[in-house]
Each structure stands twice: as structure tokens, then as C-alpha cells.
Amino acid sequence: GNSVTQMEGPVTLSEEAFLTINCTYTATGYPSLFWYVQYPGEGLQLLLKATKADDKGSNKGFEATYRKETTSFHLEKGSVQVSDSAVYFCALSRSYIPTFGRGTSLIVHP
């Protein structure tokens, strides 16, 4: 079956540090890949997505590239802010049923 593995948190960084959250997946065929973000007390919201190999999704300074050869979709940001503190979920979608990773908590200190 499909599965998503992402690095365990929490990830703790100082403001303006570089962020990487690793995500790898297992799936048949060619799934679409997503990163969602959940701020405290809220539901998840889409951060970025990529629908085919070598696509790069980007939003709010975050980027992730769909790497089929390594089955990965790592999330990166060059300079994090305190307001980026949240839980980040990697997910894939094959047909209409999604598979989520367990989430990675990011804490950014001033």
C-alpha cells in the first residue's frame, strides 16, 4: 500500500535559519505530492503541491521538488520566521484517497 515517512520532530531553529524537513514516500504509479501546514488550534491548509516528477512546488518561501528517483519530496525554506512555527504534514494522493505522514512540529525561536 501507499505510505509517507517524514522526519520526527520537533525541529527547533533560530529565526533566519535554513529549514529542511525530509519526506519520502512509497506508492504505485505516479501520485501527486503535497505539503500541508497546521497552525495551533486550526485545521490543515495546503502549503504547496507537485503533480509530476521534477515539478517544484513553492509558496511563502517554502519549496519542495518531486524526486521520483529517490521517492522524496523534502520541504525547504531558506530563512524561517517565528510565524512559521507550526506542524507540517507531507501527503500523497493516488486516486482520491490521501495518505499522510505523521507530521513534523517546527518551533522557531526569535
Partner 1 sequence: DVKVTQSSRYLVKRTGEKVFLECVQDMDHENMFWYRQDPGLGLRLIYFSYDVKMKEKGDIPEGYSVSREKKERFSLILESASTNQTSMYLCASSFRGEQFFGPGTRLTVL
CB 102 within 8 A of CB 24: no
**Residue 42 backbone dihedrals phi, psi, to 5 degrees:** -125, 170
- Per 3-state DSSP, the chain is made up of helix, strand and coil in percentages (nearest 5) of 5, 55, 40
Decide: is 46 part of the binding site for partner 1 (CB under 8 A). Answer: yes
Decide: is 75 part of the binding site for partner 1 (CB under 8 A). Answer: no
User: Strands 56-59 and 3-6, how do they pair?
Assistant: unpaired
Decide: is 53 part of the binding site for partner 1 (CB under 8 A). Answer: no
Decide: is 34 part of the binding site for partner 1 (CB under 8 A). Answer: yes
Decide: is 97 part of the binding site for partner 1 (CB under 8 A). Answer: yes
CB 21 within 8 A of CB 106: yes
Among the candidate windows 12-20, 38-46, 67-75, 76-84, which touches partner 1 by CB under 8 A? Answer: 38-46
Interface residues toward partner 1, by CB under 8 A: 31-32, 34, 36, 42-46, 49, 51, 89, 91, 93, 96-98, 100-103
